[in-house]
Amino acid sequence: MKTLFILVGPKGAGKTHIGTLVNAHTAIKFLPVEPIWVDYLQSGAKDRDGWDIVEEEIDRVFESNDRVMIESLGAGEGFARLHESLKNKYQIKFIKVKCALDKCLERVRNRDSTAHIPISADKVEEYNKIVAQVSYNWDQVIDNNALASDLEIIKAIQAIE
């Protein structure tokens, strides 16, 4: 069975960093979802739902990979619909990326935002408060408050492969 690993956490928690690291050091293919959304929003397309485009990309990556990882805030109706559809096709592994919200906001302010949806600090705080309430049956939790080491991250992912 093909496995989809979903990194869930607030903006600035380090999901993209973790996915990139896992992509480089394991057989799991990381598909960053935020650039898909950036392209979608910049296109101004109104004829399609962005979550449908994300799902199509996930399916496309699974055509040549058995294990795929994405990152998400994991909140909202759109994500719930995506999850409902994906769990019928793939084994889902939820990974919580923990980080204090004030630290996340600081990281968002200081990061290169070209691969991220540009939003205000107020929106980051608003979204992160919502995401902090999200709860799934976590397969793994990565505490990234102090930026977990590469080895700690890889071991945490390998523990649930």
Domain ranges in the chain?
3-158
Q: What is the pLDDT of residue 118?
A: 76
**pLDDT tier at 147, thresholds 50, 70, 90:** confident
Separation between Cα atoms, residue 4 and residue 67, nearest integer Å? 6
In tens, the pLDDT along 69-127 reads: 999 999 999 999 999 999 999 999 999 999 999 999 999 888 877 767 778 889 889 99
User: Chain-centre distance of CA 49, in angstroms?
Assistant: 18
Phi, psi of 47 (to 5 degrees): -85, -10
pTM of the model: 0.94
- The structure tokens 């990326």 sit at 97
Query: Element (H or E) spanning 51, and its range?
Result: helix 50-62
What SS3 class is residue 29? strand
What CATH code is assigned to 3-158? Answer: 3.40.50.300
Average pLDDT over residues 40-64: 91
pLDDT at 42: 83
